[in-house]
């Protein structure tokens, strides 16, 4: 594929949009200083044939992985990943999200030292491009912050005029009580400049992650340069990490500010003009109403938004044996246009965020999730509230161990976990699968102890030869999960009823032990009923509300009568007449 060539075809409408957004961000007095620089950057890109905008399909399935989740002696991990993916998941997975693969200093890649380089411990740009020949690629744009050990930050501390204003420093005596905090660490961190002066730099996530100051137009231009570079390097989806915190203004919550939305809209406008087949996804681990605001009006902001409610609410469903809250929530979901859809997932490199279910779960229900997490060897991470108190922010545990019980037999645990993944796969939206879910990985307790970081529990580095040995033994938990997962994916991508923008309705079939999802293809060509027993007991189900004749279960390829008893944690995907 090589470096991608972008196209520019600026018209009056796009010019007006860009000017309008710059006015919203910086005010009318600064437009003429930044607008020509922005246009020049885009016009420097050599034009080629205009690509078509990306349209969603039931065949879109994303694999989330670190570049070195799989390792083999003497080989770049990116090549190992490519070989494993090409051998085992080609035709099932369409897109691979390589978590930050750049040189970094901490946070497993999210404190980037150089946005333009590949971490040599993982491989080279050639390795990334080779992977992009067989799969679409998703890159992280870590635009809220950068490593405190980066050359850019060192130049900033040295008062290099090229880097003045690149990072956000503040007077520590100001009132920061309104600032939303996702961590318990200090908001400001002192740094010594080369001239001996001490400054206090904004550090939303850690002392090693210094926040950019996008209030300076030149900072935004730098970020747009990186955005266009990633597109040239083959990114088909760009993930805006922690983007909700991008714009800072003392005296406000410093989250979801109008300027942040305007910056995302500007990125979307630029990509719509030069690379309309590239999608933007926003990562904002916040309550649902705040999260979906990043869809904008359906045409002007992110095409994809993480469905952050799903992981903890599905966890609650399996733990409680009741699908009532999940069913009610599903029936509230909608997106503003056919150009937008949810990014459905249950696990990621981070933990299971609990802020998104603050208004959905009762305190005792959240306490039950925490208890099960800790009983299963997991940890709880906290955030600091404006009044100085702390509250749970995320549960650190693999999703396998979150939704299963270690006392159950292997086959039951595998079925229970796969049911959770089948629910995710059948919901309206684009499904995303973390590699340790696909491989049925358990808690990495030893790794967490070694690093002292809670999130390491779900970030194990595996030897690919060991994984292959387990996958070849059908008696192992890993093999049962992997084979069952691929069967689910391959069934999903063959049926347009599972289209990301198909209609969706959660039905009440008379028991909270049963979750039933009615899915219909956008063109009405196919109707599907997904039925799940979320308990460890046999549950009778009457399908007469939906069909009065036997229907085919696509997973077992057997006909199912209108009255049926579901085994514990059984899944049915029924194709309706």
pLDDT in the model for residue 11: 57
Residues of 259-274 as b/e, b for ≥16 C-beta within 10 angstroms?
A: bbbbbbbbbbbbbbbb
Q: Please identify which of the residues 127, 136, 213, 241 carries the catalytic annotation.
A: 241
CA distance 246 to 261: 9
Asked if 432 contacts 423 with a C-beta cutoff of 8 angstroms, the reply is no
pLDDT in the model for residue 215: 96
pLDDT in the model for residue 265: 98
pLDDT in the model for residue 197: 97
pLDDT in the model for residue 47: 43
Beta strands in 440-479 (DSSP E): 462-463
DSSP class of residue 162?
Answer: G
CA distance 73 to 54: 38
CA 160 from chain centre, in angstroms, equals 36
- Residue 282 structure tokens: 């926003």
Task: State the pTM of this model.
Answer: 0.96
CA distances from 371 to 384, 398, 401 (A): 21, 15, 13
CA distances from 507 to 203, 205, 514, 575 (A): 46, 41, 9, 16
pLDDT in the model for residue 107: 94
Q: Which residues are within 8 A (CB) of 274 and not within 5 positions of it... i.e. 6 or more apart?
A: 6, 7, 8, 42, 45, 228, 231
pLDDT in the model for residue 564: 95
Asked if 400 contacts 441 with a C-beta cutoff of 8 angstroms, the reply is yes
Mean pLDDT split into 10-residue runs, the chain, 577 residues = 52 79 93 88 66 89 98 97 98 98 97 98 98 98 98 98 97 96 95 98 98 97 96 96 97 97 96 92 94 97 98 98 98 96 97 94 97 97 88 96 95 98 98 98 96 96 98 97 98 98 96 98 97 98 89 96 96 96
CA distance 118 to 100: 9
Other beta carbons within 10 angstroms of residue 564's beta carbon come to 18
Q: Where do the domains of the chain lie?
A: 151-211, 503-576
CA distance 532 to 566: 8
pLDDT in the model for residue 12: 65
What is 480-540 written as a DSSP string? HHHHHHHHHHHHHTT-GGG-TTSEEEEE--S-TTEEEEEEE-TTSS-EEEEEEE-SSS-EE
Based on the residue annotation, tell me whether 241 is a catalytic residue of this protein: yes
pLDDT in the model for residue 43: 78
CA distance 80 to 566: 40
pLDDT in the model for residue 388: 84
pLDDT in the model for residue 65: 98
CATH number for the region 503-576 comes to 2.60.40.1180
């Amino acid at each position: 594929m090589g470096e991608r060539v972008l196209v520019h075809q600026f018209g009056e409408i796009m010019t007006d949009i860009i000017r309008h957004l710059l006015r919203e961000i910086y005010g009318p007095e600064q437009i003429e200083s930044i607008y020509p620089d922005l246009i020049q950057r885009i016009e420097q890109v050599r034009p080629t044939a205009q690509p078509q905008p990306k349209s969603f399909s039931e065949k879109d399935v994303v694999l989330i992985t670190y570049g070195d989740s799989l390792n083999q002696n003497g080989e770049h991990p990116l090549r190992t990943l490519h070989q494993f993916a090409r051998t085992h998941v080609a035709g099932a997975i369409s897109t691979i999200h390589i978590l930050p693969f750049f040189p970094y200093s901490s946070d497993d890649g999210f404190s980037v030292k150089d946005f333009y380089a590949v971490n040599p411990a993982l491989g080279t740009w050639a390795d990334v491009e080779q992977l992009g020949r067989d799969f679409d690629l998703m890159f992280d744009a870590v635009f809220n912050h950068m490593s405190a050990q980066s050359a850019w930050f060192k130049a900033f501390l040295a008062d290099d005029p090229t880097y003045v204003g690149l990072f956000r420093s503040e007077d520590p005596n100001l009132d920061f009580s309104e600032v939303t905090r996702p961590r318990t660490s200090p908001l400001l961190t002192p740094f010594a400049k080369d001239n001996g002066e001490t400054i206090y730099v904004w550090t939303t996530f850690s002392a090693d992650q210094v926040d950019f100051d996008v209030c300076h137009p030149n900072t935004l231009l730098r970020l747009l340069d990186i955005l266009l570079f990633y597109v040239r390097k083959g990114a088909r989806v760009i993930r805006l990490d922690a983007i909700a915190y991008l714009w800072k203004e003392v005296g406000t919550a410093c989250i979801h500010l109008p300027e942040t939305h305007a910056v995302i809209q500007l990125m979307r406008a630029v990509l719509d003009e030069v690379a309309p087949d590239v999608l933007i996804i926003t990562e904002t681990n916040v309550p649902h109403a705040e999260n979906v605001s990043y869809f904008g009006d359906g045409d002007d902001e992110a095409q994809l938004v993480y469905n952050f409610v799903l992981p903890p609410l599905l966890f609650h469903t399996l733990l409680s044996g009741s699908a009532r809250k999940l069913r009610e929530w599903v029936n509230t979901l909608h997106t503003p246009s056919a150009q937008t859809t949810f990014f459905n997932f249950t696990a990621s490199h981070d933990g299971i965020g609990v802020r998104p279910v603050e208004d959905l779960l009762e305190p005792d229900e959240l306490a039950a999730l925490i208890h099960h997490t800790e009983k299963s060897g997991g940890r709880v991470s906290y955030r600091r509230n404006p009044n100085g108190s702390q509250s749970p922010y995320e549960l650190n545990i693999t999703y396998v161990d979150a939704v299963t019980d270690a006392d159950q037999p292997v086959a039951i645990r595998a079925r229970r976990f796969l049911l959770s993944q089948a629910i995710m796969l059948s919901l309206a939206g684009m499904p995303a699968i973390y590699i340790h879910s696909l491989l049925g990985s358990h808690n990495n307790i030893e790794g967490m102890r070694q690093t002292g970081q809670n999130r390491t529990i779900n970030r194990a580095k595996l030897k690919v030869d060991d994984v292959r040995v387990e996958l070849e033994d059908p008696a192992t938990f890993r093999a049962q999960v992997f084979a069952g997962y691929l069967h689910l994916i391959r069934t999903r991508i063959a049926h347009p009823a599972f289209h990301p923008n198909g209609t969706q309705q959660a039905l009440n079939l008379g028991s909270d032990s049963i979750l039933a999802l009615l899915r219909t293809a956008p063109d009405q060509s196919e109707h599907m009923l997904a039925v799940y027993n979320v308990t460890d007991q046999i549950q009778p189900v009457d399908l007469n509300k939906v069909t009065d004749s036997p229907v085919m279960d696509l997973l077992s390829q057997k006909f199912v009568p209108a009255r049926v008893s579901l085994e514990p944690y059984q899944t049915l995907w029924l194709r309706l007449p």
